[in-house]
Structure formats: C-alpha cells, structure tokens
Structure 1
Amino acid sequence: MLYLYVRCEINGDAYDPLDPNGNITIRWDVLQENDDSSRDVRIIRISIVNYQLFRQIEEPGWKLSWRWGGSEVIWNMFGAEATEQGNCSFFRGKVAPHCCEKEPVIIDLLPAAPYSMQVANCCRAGILTSITQHPNKYISAFLMHVGIAEPSDTPPGMPTAFSIGVPGYTCGEAFQFRASLAPKCCVSLSAFYNETIVKCPMCSCACHDQPKSQCVMAGASGPTMLQLSRNEPVVQCTNHMCPIMVHWHIKQSYTHYWRVKVTVTNLNYIRNYSDWNLVVMHPNLRSVEQVFSFNYKPLNVYENTNDSGVFYGIQNYNDRLLQLGKNGNVQTEILMHKDRDFTFKEGWGFPRKISFNGQDCVMPSPDDYPRLPNVAGSFQAQPPSMLLLLLLINVFIHMLI
C-alpha cells in the first residue's frame, strides 16, 4: 500500500504561537493497484485532516487540486466530485471517465448526497471543524478509481502542486512511503435482518491469474502443498485471495443494546499469527458494554473521540491465530449500548475501517451492504407495554363474550 502525505500550513504572516504545529494534512492512500498497465489501475482514498486546534475551514469549504504525474484520469468518485470533466475525447465511443483534467479540482458532496455516493467522513460541503471543537468532524474523505489514458511501461509519477483552495494556506510537496505491496486482509459482512452475506471484494489481496499468487484448493494436501514456494504466502483459493478474513455480523437487537459477532479467519497454510491485534473504527465503540473472548482497549487518540478500539487475544487462550484448519479462527461478541445516533439504516451498523496487525483491510463497497427489510421495524423487539396491552384487550373481549 502506497501512502502520500502533504502538509498545508497557514502563511507565515498569520502564524499563531497558540497553535505552533497546526496544519491541514492531505493523506493519499493507494488501496489497490495493478501491475499490468491496465487502464483501471488504482483505487485511491484521500483524507483531508484539520490538525489545527481552533482554526476551521468554513464555507465555501475546501477545494482540493493537484497536478497528475502522468496521463491519469478519474473513472469515478465516491464522497466528492470534480468541478470539470475536461477533454475526454480520447475515450470516444466508450464510457467517459468522470474527469480527464490534468489538474483536477475536487469538491466535497453535500450532506444530502445519495447514500450510494457516500463514504465515511464525506459529504459535509467541504467544511472542517477544528480538532478541539468537534473532534468527529475535522476529517473529510473520498474515494476515486484512477486509470491511465495512455498505457505504457513507465508508471505514472507522483502528483504535485497540491492546493486545498482556502485563502491563506500553502501546501508543500508530497512525500511517500510504501507500507505493503498488497493488502493482507479483507472484510465480509452480514446481519440478522438480511439473508445476504457480503463477501470480501473480488481480488482484494490478489487474483488467481496473477503469476505470484499461490493458492490451494480446499481439501488439497500432500504433493500439491510441497510444490509451492515458501517465500510467498500460501493461501486457500478464494475470490479475494487474502491470508486473513474478518467477518462482521450484526447478530441481535435488544431494546437498549445490540450485539455484534466478529470472526477472524486465518487462510494462510504456512503461518501462525502470534500476538495478533485487530483495530476497528465504529462510532458506537464509545459505548461498549462488554467484549467476550477478546481483550479490548479503546484508542482515545483525539481526546473525546472514542470511535476506535483495539482487540487482541487473551494470553494462553486465543492470542495465537493458528494457520488454516479446524482451529484457524478466533471470534468474539461485542455488546454495545444504543446511543442516540444508533440506527440500522444505511449500513450504520457496519465498521468504517478495520485493520489487522496494523494493515488496513479491504472493505466491501457501501452499495453492497445488507439492507433493511422493506417493512421497517419488523425485526425490532416489541416493547413489554405493547404486549401487555394486547393481552388485556384479549381478556376484555373474552369477558364480554
């Protein structure tokens, strides 16, 4: 996974000693990239984080721009949109990309944007609060699928000339590091109110037809295993080809609480994971009532924001995640209190982000999340008062008869 960071700081004449380290950071995460020079090259998540203690980005909001290093185009976007499409005549007769500008200008979506176009931390009209005042509204994020107009053997260069389009701020050059060549885990989803099981996205970690991919069909053993190289992960053949799969299941709803089951499965034939950990981001983690079978600690990184936590195994019980087999998984259940923001609508009950051993897991698209049944509230528990009223009415009718 490739990361780029860009720091945007307020101009020198507006320096404030009360916030000497305040800045706005642009994080550019390449979540997936192909090595075959195909036009659908990368899935990129961009986050704009306001690390200033009291300065806010007010209306009309941020307006992010940069200069592409090659012939990149944006095929589609979620959570934001380009202000201009540009000249896409190169794709005549085909579906045109969302934006073909050499220097695209991107703006945030409005809060009323369709859910199918939203991602976590998007759709606030470009407004960023300070990290002190509203610690859950100081980040904006969006996703984009990026391809190249002219495939070649030369990989595109780094984007340059970043700007957030806010007067008084200047952005520096991007600096990068590569955390991993490919993701190592993925997330699947399910819920008691829908029979659909959302599997890990296709090719989350690799694809069957890639030369370096090594997988074993379920049930294979013996010579098949011995022929495979021990220098690369040897995983079970799946649609996602990940060595680790995390499954989040919304299990039950009570009057004041709800329950989630989390299962971590090791699909790697040749590795055990000792002292593993799982980091989850979800707004209701601030109201965790009980965690069964795992240790849990909240990650209060930003003071009052408690939407993230780390789960890890209990020593000498499940702190060692064994390789694929009968015992190749660990699982827990999480009981959480229903906060005032609680809802099962629009996929709210599913995590915003999950990482395993510090590496981000590939999440399914929000479009694929299990949906609520058409009859709203059909799965909700009936309050005792309503049941008592029905019983009294039934007794009264029999007395009249």
Structure 2
Amino acid sequence: MESLFSTMIVLLLVSLSCFTSSEALKSNKGNITIKWDLISWTPDGYVATVTAYNYQKQRSIPSPGWTMSWSWTSKEVIWSIVGAQTTEQGDCSMYNENMPHSCSSKPTLVDLLPSTPFNQQIANCCKGGVLKPGLESAFQIAVGNAGDSVKTVRMPVNFMFTAPKQQYVCGPTKNVRPTRFITADKRRVTRALMTWNITCVFHKAT
C-alpha cells in the first residue's frame, strides 16, 4: 500500500512539473526569442548570426548576464565565434591543425564584455550578457560537420537560456520564414538562407 501511495505521489509531481512547463510556454508576459539566421554556406557547414531578443516588458537580464546552451544532433563543431564564447572547448584531440573553438556536443555560450576589441565584435554583442527589455544580443558562429545545404543541414536542439536568479523554459527549434535584412541605405533587401526560432519564457525566480 505504501509503495502504491509513493508511486502515485511521484506521478503527481511529474505531471505537475510537465503542466507548469507547458503553461509557461503559453505565457502572455513576453519571452526571450532566439533567432538563428544562416547567412552563408561553408565547405563543411555554415555561418549563422544568432540573436536573442528580450520581448519581456518588465524583466531585464542583469549582470553577469545570460547563458545559452543547446545540443548538436551529430558531430558538429564550432570553428569560430565572434561576439561570444563557449565556456569550455570540449575534446578536440582528433584535430591536429585548425583547432575548433569548441568540440562539445552540448556547448554553453556567454556574451563577451564591453571591453572586447572592436575587431572581435559584431553589432549588438558584447554587453556582458546584460539584456534590457526591447533590446537584443547577438553573435556570429561558424559551424562545421553540419551539412552544407538546406537539405542536409541539421538544427540544434534542446536549447536552454538562463540568467541570474531567473529560470526559463525553451520550446523546440522551429524552421520559420527566412529573415529579411535591409541594407543601411535602405535600397536593397537580402534574406537569410534559413531561419530557426526558439522561444524561451520565464518560468520562475531562483
């Protein structure tokens, strides 16, 4: 009897946890939207601009800033990053030359500091991870072993977005309409090769 009761309690807690996460993703209080824009193909992968938009009306991401992570679905590596960095390189022992920035199957990234040299920055990067409502934070990433066409490229999955004393729940990676870009002189429009979106909503304070 006690065993049955314990099992019922565990199932109840699991169901409540799932319900809470599901409800969080339906929140109408704004969200953090991560946009992954593929901008060019490379011999073994692609270059993408990754942007986190803070669509929350009254919640900032304070110092020491946001942390973003995901899982690769195969043997992808990060050749280089501009405007951010991974917290660990991972096991790159199979490379003798041209060492990747990260070989981790689950890389974790953080923003760079405002003091970062300008030649290592891109637009909207390097704020120390601080992200105020209505603003965005971006970095550029070169990914290898990732597929080099719209038919072979693989999306990263299982995104996590964290901030000081804030817990977020992220939804699945979705293939959406490619982002359109307008040049500075507003005379030409280009578009991303592909765009993936991930929506993360505030779950609870920690």
Same fold (TM over 0.5): yes
Q: Cα offset for 1:54?
A: 0.9
> Hey, what does 1:54 align to over in structure 2?
58
For residues 79-106 of structure 1, give each alpha carbon's deviation from its aligned partner in whole angstroms, at most 9, with x where no partner exists.
00011000001112x1210000000000
Question: What pairs with 1:199-278 in structure 2 (closer than 5 Å)?
Answer: none
Alignment of 1:8-47 (within 5 A): 20-34=28-42, 38-39=43-44, 41-47=45-51
| Paired residue secondary structure (1:90) | coil
Aligned Cα root-mean-square deviation (Å) = 3.1
Query: Residue in 1 aligned with 2:131?
Result: 128
Residue of structure 2 equivalent to 1:140 = 137
Bigger Cα Rg: 1
Q: CA deviation at 1:310?
A: 4.7
SS of the residue corresponding to residue 94 of structure 2 reads helix
Query: How far apart, in 1, do the equivalents of 2:178 and 2:183 lie?
Result: 19
Structure 1 residues 21 and 171: CA distance shift in structure 2, 3 A: same
**CA apart distance, 1:177:** 3.2
Contact kept, 8 Å, 2:85 with 2:112, in 1: the verdict is yes
Aligned amino acid, residue 61 of structure 2: I
| Alpha-carbon distance in structure 2 between the residues aligned to 1:28 and 1:116 | 22
SS across alignment from 1:77: strand
Match of 2:15 in 1: none
Q: In the aligned structure 2, how far is the partner of 1:124 from the partner of 1:165?
A: 16
- Match for 1:128: what amino acid? L
1:149, CA displacement in angstroms? 8.3
SS of residue matched to 1:106: strand
User: Which range is displaced more, 20-29 or 118-127?
Assistant: 20-29
Q: How does 1:266-305 map to 2 (within 5 A)?
A: 279-281=182-184
- In structure 2, the residue matched to 1:348 is none
Q: 2:171 is matched with which residue?
A: 172
- Give the Cα separation in 2 of the matches to 1:98 and 1:72: 12
The secondary structure found in structure 2 opposite 1:173 is coil
Cα distance between partner residues in 1 of 2:137 and 2:73: 24
TM-score (norm 1): 0.38
Quote the Cα distance in structure 2 between the aligned partners of 1:78 and 1:112: 14
Q: 1:116 to 1:169 in 2, by over 3 A?
A: same
Q: Distance in 2 between matches of 1:89 and 1:68?
A: 18
SS of structure 2 residue aligned to 1:60: coil
The one-letter code sitting in structure 2 at the alignment partner of 1:97 is: P
**Structure 1 residue ranges (4+ consecutive) displaced by more than 6 angstroms after TM superposition:** none
CA distance in 2, matches of 1:60, 1:20: 26
Q: How does 1:349-388 map to 2 (within 5 A)?
A: 355-356=188-189, 359-360=190-191
Shift in Å, 1:69: 1.7
The percent of aligned pairs where both chains have the same amino acid is: 36
1:84-99 pair list within 5 angstroms:
84-92=88-96, 94-99=97-102
CA 360–156 in structure 1, closer or farther in 2 if over 3 Å, else same? closer
Please name the residue that 1:216 is paired with: none
Structure 1, unpaired ranges of 5+ = 1-10, 132-137, 184-277, 282-308, 312-354, 362-401
Q: Which of the numbers 110, 114, 127 marks the counterpart of 2:117?
A: 114
